[in-house]
Amino acid sequence: MKLDEKWFELYESLYGTTFNKILTIGTPNEGYENYPIKSLAQLRQMCEENYPKKEFYISLYDYDSDELAIKWDPQDNTPYEKYSKKNCILFRFIQNTDIIKEETKELTDVQKFMFTRRTLNLGNNKEIFEDVRKVYDAIEELFNIKSWVLFNGYNECYLYVFTESEMKLKNPTLTYYYFYKFIENYTGVKTLIYSQIEPFSQILSLPGSQNNNTRLYTKPYDITLDYLDILKNSQSRKIESFDLRQNQDTSSLEELFKTVDDEITKRKSEGNTNIWDYELDELFNEKRSI
């Protein structure tokens, strides 16, 4: 079974034809292996060799460095933060699957699959889809920007906001952190994760790849779809069309990021070292009142 050609059109729109990324391939039972990946042609080759029997994960960001990103220490965020091309903001929403893991630990692979799919059909993921919609609406309300959303086929959703230009920030990790915190407080969502991850070294499910737990595919979906229709959408390995929402006016969002970044720099220069507990509500409240 081959990956549908339309997916490679999406990859070209999303990643370009040359890049510096990390590709992770494997299965929960056999383990995973990381590969350096530099081109769309190389990505195609890896997909042709391993699809659909293995899962695929790819770096969120392209790294503007002559050194392969795979050589960097995954415990040191410095090069990832420095070299990532910051042309998007990703929101990740994760549904807790502890119950599924507990109930399936003694089951066969077939029984695990059946139990997991049944649990999803009964509404296990409703909260993440509801939270995605809240953040989608908030981004549109505050910045007049439409987002691009995907479901990974199991327990996670991604919401992309693409910026018109690459953002140049002095404190990128902190600036992203405070923006996520603002959106979390503004919307009241519970499944958004950001404090537990390094934003610039993330890997995500490759769109079009299949999740081994559910046999569902990582696919973009229409934000207006009902819960079961989102699951149904991920049952098909084909994609008819896509709109990454890349050509929008994002100047107001970029301006907010610059304002927050400058304020963080100012606080640090004044000797305020409590960097994760700055009070920046005033900056965000100004945006809220526009």
What is the dotted CATH code of the domain comprising 5-288?
A: 3.30.70.3300
Tens digits of residue pLDDT in 181-215: 999 999 999 999 999 899 999 999 999 999 999 99
pLDDT (tens digit per residue) in 99-147:
999 999 999 999 999 999 999 999 999 999 999 999 999 999 999 999 9
With cut-offs at 50, 70 and 90, classify the pLDDT of residue 47. very high
Contacts of 96 (CB under 8 A, 6+ apart): 155
Average pLDDT, the chain: 95
* Confidence at residue 37, expressed as pLDDT on a 0 to 100 scale: 97
| Confidence label for 290 from pLDDT (cuts 50, 70 and 90) | very low
Domains of the chain by residue range: 5-288
CA separation for the pair 43, 45 (Å, rounded) = 5
Q: Can you read off the two tokens belonging to residue 90?
A: 């990703």
Per residue in 4-24, pLDDT (tens digit) is: 999 999 999 999 999 999 999
pTM of model > 0.85:
yes
Quick one: which of 207, 242, 250, 225 has its CA closest to 89?
250
Q: 126-143 vs 172-187: helix axis angle to the nearest 10?
A: 110
SS3 101: helix
- Start-to-end Cα distance in the chain: 51
> Do the beta carbons of residue 156 and residue 209 sit within 8 Å?
no
pLDDT in tens, 225-275: 999 999 999 999 999 889 999 989 999 999 999 999 999 999 999 999 899
Per the CB < 8 A criterion, the answer to whether 178 and 55 are in contact is: no
Q: How confident is the model at residue 282 (pLDDT cuts 50, 70, 90)?
A: confident
